[in-house]
Structure 1
Amino acid sequence: MLIDRSLVEAALPGYSVEGDLGRGGYGLVLAGQHRLIGRKVAIKILLDTSDDPDLRARFLSEARVLAELDHPHIVRIHDYVEHEGTCLLVMELLSGGTLKQRISAGSLSPETTCSVGIAAAAALSTAHAQGVLHRDIKPDNIMFAGDGLLKVTDFGIAKIFDGAETTASAILGTPRYMAPEQIMGVRLFPSTDLYALAGVLYEMIAGRPLFGRQMAVQPLTHHHLTIMPEPLTMVPPPVSMVIMRALAKDPAARFADANDFALELARASTRAFGPNWLSRSEVKVRVDDEIREAALGASTTPRPATSAPGYPGPGPRPGYPAGPGGFSAPGGAGPGGMGPGRPGGPLGRGGPLGPGGPGGVSGPGGISGPGGISGPGGVNAPGGPGGGYQPGGYQQPRPGG
């Protein structure tokens, strides 16, 4: 894909363009620098949108979403410009690469994995509080600044919701990490993003895909709907329990609140790895006092459990399984199950869920340096002494080792 850099500099006269950072199916990202103050930036460019107004709308939506979100673990936006049919988004430069690149470079420690989970969940908590679901959490959309600080990026398919529920007008996202309700095209909740995040953490710990192997879209979505992943035995039970709970098929059985997920993961990590576990992490974490204290072992009283908005409680609803037995309405598989796919995407919309109704799900053919933790003031908190989950500390077996 070629682009005339003079066009970019004409649209952004205050910046110089310095080189390619990446490219995708609809545009590319260039490195840039502010001419006067010298700030390094990333310039995300969406090429000619005259034939695709919906794509332009999504790009502008991302700019508006990011402009409203202010959190250390969310990428910051500096400017948005439209010029001669080209849309440009000026963001902070994240020179530390993606989480996907770090995973590909070799196995990460369990402490680092838990730090990723806490930081990303803190970012999602801020987004959810502003009425925004990300809907596409994956290793490519988790990046790092030059100082190692984690950043959640790419809110391009984010969905604004009313604080209680949202129904996807189109099934967008990455099938490898999509929650059952997102595949079905029904009500989405903050716990939908937590399912995806837990899928990322599961893969980091297990060293393999969520269901054991690479799959085509149809069998993969069937697994998301009906098959529970194998238990995580590579980390202590407290950490495994938090991640597996967030992977529940029923949204009401997960953590309804990203803040609750971060708190429980912080507590579990302290129990598993000792109160100084963050000093061994390769990810810097900046969270509020409650999560910071939990990660340092200073918080011992869990908050009362909460349920997802609109749900009566933590129990399963009709149409969702009570356990790992699957994702099917009491009436069994019916004509309202997964469809063959709608135009514009490989995933179909499921029918309504309900007792004895036709909305069952179809069967198998269906479809860097050590970083401390710091509070809002940015002061690194010291890691404390202390033993691990077992006497002498938990020894982490490496995947494949």
Structure 2
Amino acid sequence: MLFDRATIVAALPSYEVGREVGSGGFGTVLEGRHRSLGRPVAIKVLAMPDAGLERRFLSEAQVMAAFDHPHVVHVHDYADDAGLCLLVMEHCPGGTLTSRLRTGLTPETACAIALSVADALHAAHRRGIVHRDVKPDNVLFAADGAAKVTDFGLAKIFEGSVVTSGSLVGTPGYAAPEQILGQPVRPATDVYALGGVTYHMLTGRPPFPADLPVREMLHRQIYGGPDLPGGLSDRFAAVLGQALTRDPAERTASAKDFALLLAAAAAAELGPDWLTRAETPLRVEEDVLRAMSDRAGAVRTPTAVAPRRLLRGGAGALHPDAARRPEAPGAPRPEVTPAGRHAAPDTPPPFPSGPSEELTHEEVQLRIAAWERPDEGFRRRTWVLLGAVIALLAAVSVGAGVIIGQLQRGG
């Protein structure tokens, strides 16, 4: 992404602007520091190609700035100038979940990260916010090692703009079937992506092979589901299988339900003191804490599912089975604290419910094909980059000609 550093410096006079540290589908990230407070920050630079998108950004930025949660990257400030919108965010020096997946995670750490993300999503859903792009790149780690979800609201801002292809937002391999098909998103859409990320953490591989062609990967997501590895325990397989069910009406109902099921499975498989061995701190709600170390099924959890029943081609889901609470030996509660800072409105906003519209095979193929086409924003950025390179080469050529001419005259 091309941007004028002087424009950023002028728009953020209270901050020192440092080097580029990352980039992604929604912008470029720079290091920064508050001049008076000395607080390190991350500055996300987003190009807004039209005024309508800029207005959406300003509206959504206010929502993001007000969202205070221990497992969400906090937005400190925002500004806009000359077609650039700038988000000043909490600095997370621990890198991304993507980088940690390369070296592997212990089951305890994987479960702690998944519960962190689930709690953040649950708090967002109660505010009417669906993330739309939960993936390892959007999970960062703070200085104390806590997992933090980033880019809340950005997918909503860019959905349907020239920055994306049509109205398609999400990441192949993690996006839910209804999202791929352009149908309404809902909390269950994020639950599917969370199930995919947890699958990757617990098994060491993404739910769908990364080397698959995009068309084949999306076809598998819509008509089937991932294979559950043989080495994965039945309890963990059941939790993942229900979260990755293709029909949102049969999927795990909420991020909170996913957290309760995963916490109970972790207590049974890893022992009630498993969190003491995790490499990341966890701040979640009290009922999830109890499920982590419940020894006799006193904590009510959502209905469990039969493990490893991935049905393909038809309804394509793991179906509910009788709830079975695993027993685990007792142990003191882990040294963690409830989040306690994200009380939700008494009446959450409505989300779409029930099954999505049925599409013909031809309509499905057209929507899959849309994900394969380069988006207009990418093409625009490519031409801008080429234009800048050509202009730079022309300037260098002219400058060199002038210098050579002066040397010849001087000689």
* TM-score band, normalised by shorter chain: 0.7 to 0.9
Tell me which residue corresponds to 1:202: 199
SS of 2:110's equivalent?
helix
Residue type at the aligned position of 2:275: L
Tell me which residue corresponds to 2:274: 277
CA distance in 1, matches of 2:166, 2:71: 28
Residue type at the aligned position of 1:100: T
1:46 CA displacement: 2.1
SS of 2:219's equivalent?
helix
Residue type at the aligned position of 1:101: S
1:4-53 Cα deviation digits (max 9, x unpaired): 44432221111112322213466421111111111111111124x3x434
TM-aligned CA distance change 1:24 to 1:234, over 3 Å: same
Tell me which residue corresponds to 1:17: 17
Tell me which residue corresponds to 1:34: 34
CA distance in 2, matches of 1:16, 1:336: 50
Give the one of 159, 168, 173 matched to 1:171.
168
CA distance in 2, matches of 1:44, 1:129: 26
Tell me which residue corresponds to 2:66: 68
CA distance in 2, matches of 1:266, 1:185: 32
1:195 CA displacement: 0.7
Tell me which residue corresponds to 1:103: 101
CA distance in 1, matches of 2:130, 2:63: 10
TM-aligned CA distance change 1:188 to 1:18, over 3 Å: closer
Tell me which residue corresponds to 2:326: none
1:81 CA displacement: 0.8
Residue type at the aligned position of 1:102: R
1:261 CA displacement: 0.8
1:227 CA displacement: 1.9
- 1:239 paired to 2:236: yes
- 1:114 paired to 2:111: yes
CA distance in 1, matches of 2:84, 2:317: 49
1:200 CA displacement: 1.2
CA distance in 1, matches of 2:116, 2:169: 24
TM-aligned CA distance change 1:342 to 1:225, over 3 Å: closer
1:1-400 equivalent positions in 2, closer than 5 A = 3-24=3-24, 27-47=27-47, 49=48, 51-53=49-51, 55-57=53-55, 59-60=57-58, 62-104=60-102, 106-159=103-156, 170-212=167-209, 214-297=211-294, 300-303=297-300, 305=302, 321=315, 323=317, 334-339=361-366, 346=373
Deviates more, 1:230-239 or 1:133-142: 230-239
TM-aligned CA distance change 1:147 to 1:254, over 3 Å: same
1:266 CA displacement: 0.7
Structure 1 unmatched runs, 5+: 161-167, 307-318, 348-401
Task: Confirm or deny: 8 A CA contact 1:118 1:262 kept in the other structure.
Answer: yes
Task: Confirm or deny: 8 A CA contact 1:157 1:172 kept in the other structure.
Answer: no
Residue type at the aligned position of 2:10: A
CA distance in 1, matches of 2:25, 2:156: 21
CA distance in 1, matches of 2:193, 2:270: 24
Tell me which residue corresponds to 1:164: none
1:3 CA displacement: 4.4
Q: From the two aligned structures, give the one with the greater helix fraction.
A: 2
TM-aligned CA distance change 1:271 to 1:131, over 3 Å: same
Task: Confirm or deny: 8 A CA contact 2:11 2:80 kept in the other structure.
Answer: yes
TM-aligned CA distance change 1:157 to 1:89, over 3 Å: closer
Task: Confirm or deny: 8 A CA contact 1:202 1:243 kept in the other structure.
Answer: yes
1:342 CA displacement: 7.4
CA distance in 2, matches of 1:343, 1:294: 42
Structure 2 unmatched runs, 5+: 158-164, 304-312, 320-354, 375-411
Tell me which residue corresponds to 1:392: none
Task: Confirm or deny: 8 A CA contact 1:16 1:35 kept in the other structure.
Answer: yes
Residue type at the aligned position of 2:71: H
CA distance in 1, matches of 2:359, 2:81: 54
Alignment RMSD: 3.2
Task: Confirm or deny: 8 A CA contact 2:46 2:84 kept in the other structure.
Answer: yes
1:198 CA displacement: 0.8
1:215 CA displacement: 1.2
TM-aligned CA distance change 1:295 to 1:341, over 3 Å: closer
Tell me which residue corresponds to 1:356: none
SS of 1:176's equivalent?
coil
CA distance in 2, matches of 1:304, 1:33: 44
TM-aligned CA distance change 1:216 to 1:70, over 3 Å: same
TM-aligned CA distance change 1:12 to 1:242, over 3 Å: same
Q: How many residues align?
A: 323
TM-aligned CA distance change 1:182 to 1:4, over 3 Å: closer
TM value normalised by structure 2: 0.71
Residue type at the aligned position of 1:339: L
Residue type at the aligned position of 2:41: V
CA distance in 1, matches of 2:110, 2:293: 16
